[in-house]
Amino acid sequence: MEIIQIVGLGLVAAALVLVLREQKPMFAFLLAAFTGLFIFLYVVGKIDAVLNVLEQLADRSGIPSIYLKTILKIIGIAYIAEFGSQIVRDAGQESIASKIEFAGKILILVLAVPIISVIVETVLGLLPVGS
Amino acid sequence: MNFDVLAIFQIAGIGFIAAMIHTLLKQSGKEEYAHWATLVGFIIVLFMILRLLGDLFQEIKTTFLFQ
């Protein structure tokens, strides 16, 4: 029943943030960031098992491991960018948050370029040559 | 998990104490000391968060095969 622990933690932290915001908004922001970090860190450890299963499946079906690695990297970038932008948005800096999301999108695009080129080459190979 | 939950209360406590010290110093007419005290508290909490952030990034790197 870890979800109960996490929900309780979130509720307590939210109450503390509400009280603390009256006195010192800086500390309220840091407390919210810390709580988010803590929950994230707690959950990231659990993903490991799922990823192992995915890796085994990919091995068994003969998919080149570079594709799986790219996809996992993309997922990691998406998580980190989302997390960072939400914390910055909590601090009230909407423009910086949207730039972080933008950077995440660009980096994901860069990582996806090899896969896209493979797809294009496959499609070109399917087309009848010379017609 | 237990130690880090305590850290949340630590941060909240540091915030309250900093607010209290700020008020006390301000009422006794030492405005600049009050701001320094708040800044020191902020930096202490910032270091706590940075350590956790480093842990998180390390974990994500090892989980999502970034090496």
pLDDT tens for chain A, 131 residues long, are 889 989 999 999 999 999 988 888 888 888 999 999 888 888 888 888 888 898 889 889 888 888 888 888 898 899 899 999 999 998 889 999 999 999 999 999 999 998 889 889 999 998 887 55
Residues A114 and A73 in one domain: yes
Residues of A in contact with B21 (CB under 8 A): none
Question: Per the CB < 8 Å rule, is B15 touching A34?
Answer: no
Residues A129 and A68 in one domain: yes
DSSP character string of B4-44: HHHHHHHHHHHHHHHHHHHHHHHHTT-HHHHHHHHHHHHHH
* pLDDT value of position A88: 93
Residue labelled with tokens 């860190």:
A41
* pLDDT value of position B1: 59
Q: Which amino acid is at B16?
A: F
* pLDDT value of position A130: 57
**Structural domain of A1:** 1-45
B59: which 2 tokens?
């974990």
Residues of A in contact with B49 (CB under 8 A): 30, 33-34, 37
Residues of B in contact with A73 (CB under 8 A): 64-66
Identify whether A93 is part of a domain: yes
* pLDDT value of position A84: 92
* pLDDT value of position B58: 87
Give me the residues of chain B with pLDDT under 50, please: none
Asked if the interface predicted TM-score (ipTM) of this complex is over 0.85, the answer is: no
Residues A77 and A41 in one domain: no
* Contact residues for B23 (Cβ-Cβ < 8 A; gap 6+): B34
* pLDDT value of position A87: 92
Residues A15 and A76 in one domain: no
Question: Per the CB < 8 Å rule, is B16 touching A26?
Answer: no
Residues A76 and A35 in one domain: no
* pLDDT value of position A86: 93
Domain map (residue ranges) of chain B: 2-63
> What is the rounded CA–CA span in Å between residue A131 and residue A118?
22
pTM equals 0.80
**Looking at the 3D structure of chain A, how many domains does it have?**
2
* pLDDT value of position B3: 62
Query: Scanning every residue of chain A, which has its alpha carbon at the shortest distance from the alpha carbon of B53?
Result: A37
